[in-house]
Amino acid sequence: MKKRQKPVGSAAGERLGYQVGGGIRMLPHNFCLDVRRNKILYFLLLIVLAYFVIFNYLPMFGIIVAFEKYSPVKGVFGSKWVGMDNFISFFSGPYAGRLIRNTVVLGVFDLLVNFPTPIIFALLLNEIKNKYFKKTVQTVSYMPYFVSTVVAAGMVIGFTKAGGAISEAMKFMTGGVSENLLNQTAWFRPIYILMGTWQGMGYGSIIYLAALSDVDQELYDAAKVDGAGYWKQMWHITLPGISSMIIMMFIMRMGTVFSVGADKILLLYNASTYEVSDVINTYVYRLGMQNADFGMSTAVGLFNSVIGTILLLTSNQVLKKLSGTSMF
Amino acid sequence: MSKKKKEKPSRILFLAADVVILILITYVCLVPIWHMVMASISDPTALNVHTGMVYYPLKKVDVQAYRIIFRYKQLWSAYLNTIFYIIGSCLLTGVLTTIAGYVFSRKRFYYRNAFMMFISFTMLFNGGMIPNYLVMRGLHLTDNPLVMIIPGSLSVFNIIIMRTSMQNVPQELEEAARMDGASDLKILWDVILPLCKATFAVIMLFTVVAKWNDYFSALLYLPTRQDLYPLQMALRQILITSTSDISSSASSLIDNSSIYKKSIEYASIVVSTLPILCVYPFVQKYFVTGITMGAVKS
C-alpha cells in the first residue's frame, strides 16, 4: 500500500474543507469518511470495478471447470470433481508435445523475424533525406496493417493456391509444380510468419521512427566535425539513441512469445498441416467450441495462461532491472 | 537524390541499395492490394485460368461480380452490423475509459494504487476461452448483439493512457472549477475532457480498428445467429470457409454464376477494404501519436 500522505494540501482545497491529499490531516485515514466526501468518485469507481469483476474476474472462477468432468446439464457447480485428471490425460495424450512445440516454434520464429524487421526498416528509412519519398514509403508501408486479418488470410490463401502468384514464383524458383502451399507442412510456418511481416512491418516501425527523430541532431553534426563516417555515426549515435526502445520492446514481446493467438491460425490452417500448425489456442478452440469438451479445453487453456503469466512476470522483472521501467 | 556535398562511393552505393530495397518493400505492400482490385474487374473466364499476379484487367473490364455483390444482402447487413458494433463500442469505450481515467488520475483518491493493481492483474492473467464463454452464456450475452460491444470495451491499457493524460491537466483548473461549485461530472466534462481530446481520439481510433478486425468473438459468441455477424464473419464465409450462399444469390442474376466465384471473392475484398484504405492516410498522424503515447506510458 501507499505511504501516508504528507500533511500538505493545497490552499484552495483547504479553504473548501476538502482535502486534496485525501484523508484528514494528522489522523489515520478513514475509509468511510473518504467515501462520504467523494461520493461521486466512488460511484464512478464502482462502475469500473463492476466491469472488471464481471468480465475479467468472474471467468477466473470458471477455471474450476478445468478440474471437473464438465456436464452441460449439471453446470459449473454441479459437475463431477476429477482433480488433475484433465491435465494428466492431456499431458499423457498424443497432442501435448506437438502443441507445445508448435506454439513455441511459431512464437519464437515470429519474434526472431518480425521483431527486427521493423527496426531495420526504420533505420533504412531514416537514411533517406528526401521528404516526399520517405513519406510515401511510410504511408504505403502502413497500409497492410489496415487490411483486416480475414482479408489478409484470404489473400494469402489465394496467392499460395496452385496458380497463385507465390506458388508460381516458387515453381519458377525450384522447378517443381505449382501447388497449394498451405497444404504442405514445410510451408505453413514461413507463410504464417511472412504474413505477419507483411501486415506488421510498416506499422511496427512507427515507434522506432519516432525514437529516431528524437535523437539529437547536433550529435551528428559534432560527429561529422570529428570526422566520423556514416557507419560510425550509426553505430555510436543512432543505435545507442534507440537502444533503450529496442530493449524495452524486445522484453515486452518476450513476455507474449507463448501466447500465439488462435484467430490468425484458424484462418490459415487445415487438417493436413496440424502437425506444424496446430497450437495450444487453436486446440483449445476445437476441443471446447467444436467438441464441447469444456473440462479438458479449460485445463489446456489454463496451462497456456499460467505459462503466459510466468513469462510476462519474468520479462517484467528483467525490464525493471535493465531500464527501471515496468509494465505493471 | 542529388547530393550537394561530394559523397564517398561507398555511401552512394549504400543509398542506392537503400532506395532499391525501400521501393521493393513499397511494391510488396502495394501489389497484393492492386492485384485484388484488378482481378475483381477482370473477365472471369480469363481470371480462372490466369496464374500469378494480375496487373491490369484481364481481357476486358467486367463488373458483373460487383453487381452480384451488391445484391448479396448478407454482406451488406453484416456491413451495417459492423458499423453498429463500432459505434456502440466507441460510445461505451469512450464513457467507461473516461470515467476510469478520471477516477485513477485523482490524487485525492486515496486508494487509487491498490485499485489500479486490482484491475492491472487482468492484464497478467485471464480465465481463458471456455470460462469466458461460460460467463457470456450465463449473462445471456451469447447470440446477443451486445456481446460484440460490451466485453473488451474497457481495457487496462486504455485506462493507463487516459489516466496519464488526465494527470497532466493542471490541478489548479480543477480547483478553480470546484470553487465555482462544479461537481465531479461537470469538471470531468467541461474542464478535463476537452484537454484530453487527443488521447480520447487515439483511443477511439484503436477501438474502431479492433472492432473492424474482430471476427473471433463472433465465432465464439454468435454461434447460431448469422444475421448478427459482423462484416469479417461474412467475409470469412466467402473467402475462407466457402460457406456463404452468395452463388445461389448470384444464380438469380446470371446463369453460369459459378465461373464468377473468384471474381466475387476479389470484389468482396475490394468493397470491404478499399473504404478503410482510403480513409486511413487522413488519420495516420493520430496513429503515430497513439503508438508513441502507448510506448511512453507508465
Pair B163, B214 in one domain:
yes
pLDDT bucket at A13, cuts 50 / 70 / 90:
very low
CB atoms within 10 A of CB B123: 16
Cβ pair B14:A298 closer than 8 A = no
| Arithmetic mean of pLDDT, A10-27 | 46
Q: Is A46 on the interface with B (CB under 8 A)?
A: no
Shortest alpha-carbon distance between residue A284 and chain B (Å) = 8
Predicted local confidence at residue B24, as pLDDT:
96
A87-323: what fold? Answer: MetI-like fold (1.10.3720)
Locate the chain B residue with the closest alpha carbon to A45: B103
pLDDT bucket at A6, cuts 50 / 70 / 90:
very low
**Cα separations (Å) of A35 from A32, A38, A46?**
5, 5, 11
- Closest to A196 (Cα-Cα) out of A75, A282, A111, A293: A111
Q: Are B96 and A47 in contact (CB under 8 A)?
A: yes
The pTM (predicted TM-score) of the whole model is: 0.88
Pair B49, B171 in one domain:
no
> Which of residues B43, B62, B81 is at a domain's end?
B62
Structure confidence by residue, pLDDT tens digits, B25-42 = 999 999 999 999 999 999
Residues of B in contact with A284 (CB under 8 A): 128-130
What residues form DSSP beta bridges with A68?
A: A81
Give A142: exposed, middle or buried? Use CB within 10 Å, 0-12, 13-18, 19+.
buried
Which range among A3-17, A52-66, B63-77, B234-248 shows the weakest confidence by mean pLDDT? A3-17
Pair B44, B148 in one domain:
no
Predicted local confidence at residue B271, as pLDDT:
93
Q: Could you tell me the CATH number of the domain that includes residue B72?
A: 1.10.3720.10
Of A13, A20, A210, the CB nearest to B288: A210
> Which of residues B11, B38, B62 is at a domain's end?
B62
Residues of B in contact with A169 (CB under 8 A): 52
Q: Which domain holds residue B172?
A: 64-298
Whether A140 has a pLDDT exceeding 60, the answer reads yes
Pair B76, B205 in one domain:
yes
Cβ pair A297:B21 closer than 8 A = no
Pair B110, B223 in one domain:
yes
Predicted local confidence at residue B280, as pLDDT:
86
Pair B50, B181 in one domain:
no
Tell me the percentage of chain B whose pLDDT exceeds 70: 95
Whether A322 has a pLDDT exceeding 90, the answer reads no
Cβ pair B265:A158 closer than 8 A = yes
Whether A23 has a pLDDT exceeding 50, the answer reads no
**ipTM at complex level:** 0.90
Pair B29, B81 in one domain:
no
Q: Is A225 on the interface with B (CB under 8 A)?
A: no
Number of domains composing chain B: 2
Which range, A69-83, B81-95, B169-183, has the best average confidence (pLDDT)?
Answer: B81-95
Pair B253, B213 in one domain:
yes
Predicted local confidence at residue A151, as pLDDT:
96
Pair B43, B81 in one domain:
no
Rounded to an integer, what distance in angstroms lies between the CA atom of residue B79 and that of residue B106? 40
Residue boundaries of the structural domains of chain A: 1-37, 87-323
Q: Is A81 on the interface with B (CB under 8 A)?
A: no
Structure confidence by residue, pLDDT tens digits, A171-213 = 888 887 878 889 999 999 999 999 999 999 999 999 999 889 8
